[in-house]
Amino acid sequence: MLELAADRDRLREENEHLKSLLPSSPEAAAAGGGFDPYNP
């Protein structure tokens, strides 16, 4: 169970990181992605 939770957390972090690389959008803003390469 702990391994599954760790994998879930890691995937969630990776997903949020990838979202943060996208241009700003309502989804990215809702996800809390702070980095926007098109709007520094």
Query: Tens digits of per-residue pLDDT, 1-40?
Result: 788 888 999 999 998 888 877 766 666 555 555 555 666 5
**pLDDT score at 25:** 61
Query: What does the longest C-alpha to C-alpha distance in the chain come to?
Result: 40
**pLDDT score at 8:** 92
Q: Tell me how far apart the alpha carbons of residues 6 and 15 are, in angstroms, rounded to a whole number.
A: 14
**pLDDT score at 19:** 81
**pLDDT score at 13:** 92
**pLDDT score at 14:** 92
